[in-house]
Structure formats: C-alpha cells, structure tokens
C-alpha cells in the first residue's frame, strides 16, 4: 500500500485520478496554476455617483489591500448633502480600519488602509520675505516713470522702500 493510499484511507475519501497516477509513477505534479498574489496592493479609481456607490469603495478598503482614488465631482454637482454623508461614512470607515483619508484637488479623495499614510503639506508655504536694505538715488533726469512702456523689453522695476 502506497503513501497516498494510506492518506486516502485516513481521510476516508476516494482516490483521485491524480493520486492513482502519482502512485504508479512515483511522483506528484504540483499545480502550476498562477495564484493571485495577496501581497500586491491595488490602486483603484472610483467615481462617486450617488450615496449607494460608496458600498464598493468601503468593501475594497475593508479588504485591506486597496488604495482608493475617488472622484467626487459627479456627486458634488448633484447633491452636497449626500456628498457630506458619503465623506463622513468614508472617514468613519478609515478610522475603523486605522487607515487615512485626504482630499486633493477639488474633485478627488484618496483613502488608504492601515499600511499606508497620506502626506499632507501646507497649501501655500510661506516664502521668506526679502526686505530691500538698499536705497536707490535718482537724479532729476533719471527718475523712473510710473508707466510701463510696452515697447520696452525690460521688466518693470519695482522698488521696496
């Protein structure tokens, strides 16, 4: 009695054709089918048409391997109250799965699971102001005119005092 027969008897099932062939030939061929890798992350776009279309987004986020890029323009133009409900639902789900959510642009929201975070930057970073410490002196003949001449190739001069 071969190894596979013992396993079959222990499990109480019938011997399959593959196991019979394996016993006769002395080897078992393992399946060569490609398996979908669960380690891959999916970046998936969604369009939020109405409040009901949020279900598939929430399911994808709860799955834990999907980064959702959500276009909210259609619902924003249709009904702002429904849009606020949908965004609140997304926020609560992201909090529950310890994910993150942020808007970018006027019409897009990104929602990510717990393994990712969304970088946030200030909208307008303050530029250090340059103060002119120089004093420019003009003689009466060199006084710059207040008007900008369009045929002048140079940029208009702006002085800070």
The CATH architecture of the domain made up of 42-112 is 2-Layer Sandwich (3.30)
**Sequence-distant (≥ 6) Cβ neighbours of residue 82 within 8 angstroms:** 50, 51, 75
- What is the residue-averaged pLDDT of the chain? 76
Tell me how far apart the alpha carbons of residues 17 and 35 are, in angstroms, rounded to a whole number: 23
The pLDDT of residue 121: 82
Domain ranges of the chain: 1-31, 42-112
Query: pLDDT, tens digit, for every residue of 7-18?
Result: 666 666 555 666
- Confidence check: pLDDT of 161 > 50: no
Lowest mean pLDDT among 74-88, 99-113, 121-135: 121-135
Contact call for residues 48 and 57 (beta carbons, < 8 A): yes
Mean pLDDT throughout 145-156?
51
**Rounded to 5 degrees, what are φ and ψ at 67?**
-100, 120
Tokens of 106: 């006027």
């Amino acid at each position: 009695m071969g190894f596979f027969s013992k396993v079959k008897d222990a499990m109480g099932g019938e011997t399959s054709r593959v196991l019979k062939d394996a016993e006769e030939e002395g080897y078992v061929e393992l399946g060569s089918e490609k398996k979908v890798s669960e380690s891959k992350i999916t970046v998936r776009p969604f369009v939020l048409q109405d409040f009901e279309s949020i279900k598939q987004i929430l399911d994808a986020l709860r799955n834990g391997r999907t980064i959702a890029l959500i276009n909210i323009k259609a619902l924003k133009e249709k009904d702002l109250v429904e849009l606020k409900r949908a965004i609140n639902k997304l926020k609560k789900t992201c909090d529950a799965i310890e994910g993150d959510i942020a808007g970018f642009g006027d019409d897009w929201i990104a929602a990510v699971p717990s393994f990712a975070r969304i970088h946030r930057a200030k909208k307008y970073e303050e530029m250090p102001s340059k103060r002119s410490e120089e004093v420019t002196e003009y003689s009466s003949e060199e006084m710059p005119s207040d008007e900008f001449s369009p045929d002048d190739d140079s940029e208009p001069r702006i002085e800070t005092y």
